[in-house]
Structures are given as C-alpha cells and as structure tokens.
Structure 1
Amino acid sequence: MSSNFIKNTSKLLAGNAFGQIIGIIAIPIITRLYSVEVYGEFSSLLAISLILATFTTLSLHLAILIPKSEEEAIKIFRLCLSLTYVFCFFISVALYFFNEYVVSLLNIKSNTKIVFAIPLLVLSQSLYISFTYLGVRVKIFGEISTSKVLETISDRGIAILSGFGNFAFVGNLILARVAANVFAILYLFPILKRYKSRKKTTISNGFIFTKYKRYLQYNTPSMLLINSMLQLPVIIIAAYFSSIAAGLFAIANRLVNIPVSALGGAISQTFMQKIAEDKANDDMGKVKENTDIFFITLVAFLLIPFSVLSVVGDSLFVIVLGAKWADAGVLASFLSYFAMTTLLVQSFGGLFDVMNKQNIRLIFHIFNFIIRIGTLILCIYVDYDLAKTVLIYAVVSIFMNVIAMGLLLGSVQQVQSLISALTNNVMPLTFFHVLAAIIMSYFESILLTYSLIAILATSWFFIIGGMEKIKQFRK
C-alpha cells in the first residue's frame, strides 16, 4: 500500500475515531437523560431522513472525485447543491399533505408537528456529504477529519446540555443533529475559495447528466436500497412493535455500528481514491494486490473486537447505559457480526464504481432488499418477539453481506481473498467462542470475566500473526 494512502486514511480515521470516542463517552449520559421512547421517535425520524437523503443529489456527489477537470468537478458540486434544495422543498410540500399519515406510521406520541423537521435533517446531511466529497477531491483530509470531530462534539454537546436543562425532548435531539451538520459545513466552506476566481463554466447540466448517467441509473437506486435496508428496520419496528422497541433496536444498532461509522467512510473514500488512480494508470496488478492485502488484514482484525462484543454485549449495555437499556444489549450481541460484515462491504464498495460494475450492485441490492426486509416482515407476520426477530434478521443479513463481498472482490478477480479469509479464520473464531462460553458459564464476577475475555482476545491477535500483518500492510 502506498504511504500516501495510509497517510490520508490515517487522517480521516483519526478524526472519525476521536469523534466516535466523544460519541461513546456521551451516549451513557444521553441514555440516562432521554427516555427510550424519545430516542425511538428521534431514531424513526432520522431513519426516514437518511432514506430520503439518497435522492437529493441523485448520487452525483460520488462523481465529484472522477473528472480530471476542476471546472467539471465544481460544476458537479454546484449541481448537487441545487438538486438538494429542490428536493427538500418537495419533501416539505409532501409532508404538509401527509403529516397525519407519517405520524401514525411512526407511532409518534409526543408532538405531531415534529415530522416537519425531516426536510431540515435531509438538507443538512446532504449538504455536508457534498462538501465532504469536494474536500476529498482536493485532498484536505485533515480538515475533513476535523469537521467530523466538530460535528460529533456539537451533536452530543447540544443534546446533553438540553437534557440537563430539562428539555429532554425529541425536538432537541433533532436540533442537535441539524446544528452539528451546519457547523461542520461552515468549517469546510473555505474550500470554495479556491474556485471563486474561476470564470463561469460553459459546462451544462445536461452534459453532466449525460456523462454521469450511470450514477443516476445505477448508484441512486442502489444507494436507496442500501439506505432503506439500513434504516427501514427502525421504521418497521416502530410501526409494528412500538417507539420503545424502536429505541432499543436503534441504540443497539448505533453502538455496534460505531466502528462502521468511524472506519467505513474513511476507508471507502481513500481506498476508492487510491484504486481509481491505479485504474486510471491501467495498473490492474496494483489494484488487485492492494485489494487482496487490505481485505485479508481488515478481516483478521475486525473479527476480534466484534467477536468480543457478541459475547459481552448484553452485560456491557447494562453497565454502560443503565438498566432500562438491558434488552438493547441482547440485540447488540445479535447484531455484532452483521455490523462487521457491513463495514467490510462499505469499505470496498468503491470497487463497483471504479470497475464500472454499478449494474451488478443494483441487481444484487434488489435481491438483498427483498430478502432482508422480507425476512424482517415475515418474522413480524408470524408473531415472533423482538429478540427472535432481530436475531433471524441479523443472520440473514450476514449471509447477504458475504455474497456482496464475493461480488465486490470478483469485480477485480480476487474472490480467492474472501475464500482465504473465511477458511483461515474459522478455527480461531470457533476456538474463541468455545472458551468464551466456558468463561461466561463458570465465572460470575464481571471484572474477572471481562479480564479473561480480554486475555483470550489478545491471544487470538497473536495466534493469527497480528504484528506480521501490520508490517505487511505498511509495506
């Protein structure tokens, strides 16, 4: 791997990691200030906004990284902003007519007018994404990293201060999220100064739509399916169970996906930039080599922390979040490997774009959406309880993520990397879970149990040759 790739990834990872640390510290405070029901309503509204945000730029923000011409890149960026404004206006109009239906669907009991915050969430999130991709293009990875830290501090800070001020309502959580995105955007706003002196472009919107039509045809529906698969479970659980159930699932899903949020975007953006550069230089050998080394290394390291979470998740949630979130810990244990495989798919998702295989991604995600969401609805239809529903949903989702990784690696003829990762880690994984089960059964002391699990995980790291893999990755 090149030193620039590692350096750029490290910058983004540092910001994401620091932001996530702040978020982790803040979550136990937030869960004690806000009720499960309030958090559930907020999560439902956020889920809808994330799904709708898929349409705002029609996935053209991904194309900001592609053109060699800076004139074309800034044209794409400005078009993304215009599309975002127009789409958010139409969302507002739609909510005016369908307000009662949305409130009923989400089981909102607090304030029925709160659904009008959805366009604000969509607008702030979409604008921040467009600014982030423009920043990646001009390689200001340090500034992007800092903006993510600023976003996290603002979000958690406003939420906590509101809670301590006896304003622990859904609206304050929404205010915190919108304000955080606005602060991050303002921090990145100076990026535009380098384009200020440029003359008015002759590139038309029609030219952009025509040249990058594959993003509209394949990426937008693919991203819609991906975001829907990630966010619909919260909405479905809120609709068929309750806002409380949605809150339990949302906090469990959010915590197990902290590594996905911290690592996935940073790895994906810099990895895509690297392999796009190698592909442009017709160096497919380098693309294959980097993909193989990075995938094998990432799988080996991710298995350890996510395996630990699958074992101690239920008891850990009670300690960290409080007794009222105990059921969320059980759900987190079920979702741990699902989160890990999601991180892998997100990290290497750029392979489809660089290799122009967006059609394969779209076809897969159509089936993926049907199977995963269909499984969730089927479990509800046969009247399974929340825990059993989430467990079955997680198992099916893991299976589909493995298939996704096979298709991604297959786009660069590296399927053997997936086969190697599965076969090489099956024995250490089995060994860990057997010993962990024995430890959990025979020791009642939480401190002793966690200490033994930590020793077991550390031993696993050295058994798989962790230090050697780090040295190989740095070469």
Structure 2
Amino acid sequence: MKQLYFNFKNGLFFKGSFIRNSSVFASGAIGAYLIGFLFTPFITRIYNPEDYGAFALFNALLAFISSIMSFNYASALLLTKSKAEFYRLARVVLVIAVLITAILLVLISLFKTSIVHLFNLNKISNYLYLLPILGLFSILQLIADKLNIYKKEFKVNAIAKLFSVGGGKGVVLFIGYNFGSVIYGLISGEVIIRVLNTFLLLNREVKTFFTNLFSDIKKNKLIATAKDYKNYPTYIFPTTILNQLSIHAPVFVISYVYLSEELGYYSLAMSLLGIPVQVIGFSIGKVYFQKASETYNSKDLLLFKKQLINLFYLITIVASIGYSIVFSFGNQIFTFVAGSKWTFAGEVAQLLSISLALQLVGTVIGPVLMVIRKEKVQFYASIVGSIIFICMIITGVYKNLIFRDFILLIAIGIAIKDLLLIFFTFIKVKYISVKHVFFSLLIIGLIFYSSYLLFIK
C-alpha cells in the first residue's frame, strides 16, 4: 500500500510516468464514454428496444469479424523494439486484413440470401456489406492507435476518441430525431465513429503513415516477420476467436431464441455496464501493458511484482464499489437515464453487475501473461473458460430457460471465465501468491453483501 500511495502521489507530476500516461490516455476514453452516456437519455427515448436489439446483432458480427482480421498479429505491435520493426509487423497485419476483407465481400455477394436465412439476419440484411469494410477500418484504427501508444502520444488518442464519438452520436441523434426509430440511424453512427477515429488518430501524419505502411511490402519480408511473431496466430488467435464467440454468443442466441426487444434490453445493459470496462480496463490496461513490458524487460522483477499487486487491489476495490451501486439501484438508474420503457434493462444490469466487476479486474490484469511470454497459458485458460461459458449457453437454450434465468446463467459464465484468467495469471507470475485472488474475491463479496444489507434487504 505504501508503494501504491507513492506512485499515486508522485506519478501524476512526472512526465512519462505510468499514472500520468494512464490519466492522459484514459481521459480520452472517459470523455468519449461520457459523451456517449450524455447522448443516451435522448437516443433511448427515440429508438426502441427492438432496433437496439438489431443494432446489437450488427455490432456483434462486426466485432467478431474485426477480431479475425489480423490473426492477432496486431496484438504484438507494442512489443516491437523499433519503429522500423513496428511498420514491418503492421504491413503483415494490413495484408492479412485486406485479403480477409476481399474474401468476405465475395462470400457475401455469392451467398447473401443463404447467410441471411441461416442466421436469421433479416433486420440487418441490407447492411452486411458494411461489415468487412468497417472491419478493415478497425484494423487501420488499431494500427494507428498502437503507433501513438508506441510513441507515447497519448493525447492524440484521447482527442480522437472524443471527436469521433461525439460526431457519431450526433449523427445517431440527428437521424433519429428526423426519421424516428430506424436501424440505419444507429449503424450510421457506428460508421462515422470508426472512420473518423481512424483519421483523427493519424493527426497530421496521414500521408507519412500510409507511405510507411504501404512501402516495402515484399513477400519475403512479410513471411520473415510473420514467423518472428508466430505465437500470436498460433496461440493468441484461437483464444481470440473463442473469446469473441463466448462474448457475443449471448447476442447471437438471444437474437435467435428470444425477442429482439429482449436483446435490446440486454444490449443497453451491457453497453452501460461495459463503460467502466472500456474506460478503466482497456485504457489503463493498454498503458500498463506498455509499462509492464518495460519493467519486465529490464529484469526488475521486484518492481514488476509491486506494480501488479498494487494495481490488482486498486482495480478490485474500484470495480466492486462501482458495480455494487448498479446491483442496488439498477432499476432506478436505468429508468432515470434511459426512460420508463427501459426499466427492465435495469433488472438485467443487476443480474450482471457482480460478473462485470470481475471482468473489469480481468481486463486490466489479463495482458500480464503476454508480457511474461506465457501466451500458451492464456491460450489454455481462455479455451477452458470459453468452452465452459459456451456449454452453459447451450445448456440454457436446451433447458428452454426464461429470459431472466438465461441472463443469470450468462453472469455466472462471465464470472467463471475471468476468474480462470486471473487465477492462472497469478500462478505464472513468479514470487506472487494466488492468495491475492482469494483476498480479492473476499473484498468483492463483502462490498456487494454490504450493499445488499444496506439498500435491498
């Protein structure tokens, strides 16, 4: 705790410190999600749960396609040791993404009717061609994002997030206000966010970026670079596919088995509950990944251990307090924020709150396994967790559960997945006891139980 206090007290005032970089980087994410949150009361009063459900299905498909676009080579960009090596690996990512985009566009052109019928995609059938194109933009966005992190230009990333989300949400509101609840309004906003964010991330270096990226694309160099990072498509990529399937399996199943309206409730609940995961988890997680890599590569294992433990307990406490508020007042929060037609989304959020607290912790801590070069462990932990989760989802469908019980099943599955990841992380980091995992569970349990006694019972 003494080290944590020292880091907090001094880190904010030193340029390049972990906490300062985290603060700058997270400020963009916090601001962007705050903008999105501020738009939510207006958007949810225009768009109905059914349209939200259809948009959730579109976004789930887009997220899955984006996740397979680079075979996970993009995950290794921050581990490169020079700017030249960064661009060599980025070219591998780009070539793979372009090839997959072309293949998907051909498949959609040839089998669109069959795909729509097989997966019940009637409500988004007119927008299928956008999926691979937006997936390609997601890869360009990812490369630019990691390049800025690599150069420690966190302010550029922050500004890009703010303006792209503001522009996208503005488009959603404009279309909804003028044309009512229409799905293309929600999808148009997503298009604006991804495209605008890509170019804003590049700032004034658009020409330089694309010149460096597209120059010197030679087969032998691409193959050599791909071999250097072969662990990522071999171990991390299958993990990503399983993770994406498990993350979006509820959306696919709800859209197929339950009503689009119920998918809308689930979508809004996960969207709002996911804000802390995105803001705190991914923003701080990205910066911590870069800082942890530097510390670990310098062989200062004692400092590496202290950083991990301090961050672990800090994020556990923050997540528990935040999500216990949702656990206690979910109905009231969602009714106030989104309107009376979204009250049931608050009940869904209450059921999911504890599992999202664990997910936030796992999101921040998870990248440690890549830092210490234990990709295989992450691979096996994710496989086991995802298989358990998917089996639980299938069981829920087989048992023909009512919607509330199915949501509770999803919550239990999410908790199991993230607990496995956290547990294996602490097992593999030398000189750190797994007792910290049990202490964190005790902290989460005490905070949520206290909220139950104070506000629910």
Please report the TM-score for the alignment, with normalisation by the length of structure 1: 0.87
Query: Shift of the alpha carbon at 1:81?
Result: 2.1
**C-alpha contact 1:41 1:106 (8 A) present in aligned 2:** no
Match of 2:3 in 1: none
Match of 1:124 in 2: 137
Query: Shift of the alpha carbon at 1:105?
Result: 4.8
Q: Which amino acid aligns with 1:250?
A: S
Change (3 A) 1:67 1:390: same
- The separation in 1 between residues aligned to 2:117 and 2:48, in whole angstroms, is 20
Query: Shift of the alpha carbon at 1:424?
Result: 4.5
- Residue-by-residue CA offset, 1:48-102 (whole Å, 9 max, x unaligned): 1111111111111122111222111111123222222221111111222332343
Match of 1:457 in 2: none
Change (3 A) 1:88 1:201: closer
Change (3 A) 1:435 1:261: same
Match of 1:434 in 2: 453
The match for 1:421 among 440, 443, 449 is 440
- The separation in 2 between residues aligned to 1:315 and 1:335, in whole angstroms, is 16
- The separation in 1 between residues aligned to 2:168 and 2:383, in whole angstroms, is 34
The match for 2:91 among 75, 78, 92 is 78
Q: Percent identity?
A: 22
SS in structure 2 opposite 1:257?
Answer: helix
Moved more, 421-430 or 340-349: 421-430
Q: Which amino acid aligns with 2:442?
A: T
Q: Quick check: 1:364 aligned with 2:377?
A: no
- The separation in 2 between residues aligned to 1:400 and 1:361, in whole angstroms, is 11
- Residue-by-residue CA offset, 1:191-226 (whole Å, 9 max, x unaligned): 466665898588801111110000111111111222
Q: Quick check: 1:407 aligned with 2:424?
A: yes
Task: Calculate the aligned-residue CA RMSD, in Å.
Answer: 2.1
Match of 2:177 in 1: 164
Query: Shift of the alpha carbon at 1:149?
Result: 1.0
The match for 2:286 among 250, 255, 269 is 269
Q: Which amino acid aligns with 1:118?
A: L
- The separation in 2 between residues aligned to 1:249 and 1:83, in whole angstroms, is 33
Matches within 5 A, 1:12-51: 12-51=25-64
Q: Which amino acid aligns with 2:185?
A: N
- Residue-by-residue CA offset, 1:102-157 (whole Å, 9 max, x unaligned): 32355444463222222233222222112111111111100011111122112211
Please report the TM-score for the alignment, with normalisation by the length of structure 2: 0.91
The match for 1:325 among 342, 360, 369 is 342
- The separation in 2 between residues aligned to 1:12 and 1:225, in whole angstroms, is 29
- The separation in 2 between residues aligned to 1:105 and 1:313, in whole angstroms, is 36
Q: Which amino acid aligns with 2:184?
A: G
**C-alpha contact 1:71 1:201 (8 A) present in aligned 2:** no
Match of 1:91 in 2: 104
- Residue-by-residue CA offset, 1:316-358 (whole Å, 9 max, x unaligned): 2122212222221111111112222111111112111111111
Matches within 5 A, 1:288-299: 288-299=305-316
SS in structure 2 opposite 1:204?
Answer: helix
Q: Which amino acid aligns with 1:147?
A: A
Match of 1:315 in 2: 332
Q: Which amino acid aligns with 1:434?
A: L
- The separation in 1 between residues aligned to 2:78 and 2:100, in whole angstroms, is 23
**C-alpha contact 2:359 2:418 (8 A) present in aligned 1:** yes
Change (3 A) 1:281 1:239: same
Q: Which amino acid aligns with 1:159?
A: V
Match of 2:276 in 1: 259
Q: Quick check: 1:8 aligned with 2:25?
A: no
Change (3 A) 1:192 1:204: farther
- The separation in 2 between residues aligned to 1:32 and 1:107, in whole angstroms, is 27
- Residue-by-residue CA offset, 1:240-274 (whole Å, 9 max, x unaligned): 11222221111111111111111121111110101
**C-alpha contact 2:140 2:198 (8 A) present in aligned 1:** yes
Q: Which amino acid aligns with 1:153?
A: G
The match for 1:393 among 410, 419, 423 is 410
In structure 2, list runs of 5 or more residues that go unmatched. 1-6
- Count of residue pairs the alignment pairs up: 438
Change (3 A) 1:242 1:432: closer
**C-alpha contact 1:19 1:153 (8 A) present in aligned 2:** yes
Moved more, 167-176 or 260-269: 167-176
Q: Which amino acid aligns with 2:450?
A: F
- Residue-by-residue CA offset, 1:150-192 (whole Å, 9 max, x unaligned): 2211221110011111153222222211121111111122346
Change (3 A) 1:243 1:423: closer
Q: Quick check: 1:348 aligned with 2:361?
A: no
SS in structure 1 opposite 2:28?
Answer: helix
- Residue-by-residue CA offset, 1:3-23 (whole Å, 9 max, x unaligned): 511011001111111111111
Q: Quick check: 1:302 aligned with 2:319?
A: yes
- The separation in 1 between residues aligned to 2:115 and 2:403, in whole angstroms, is 23
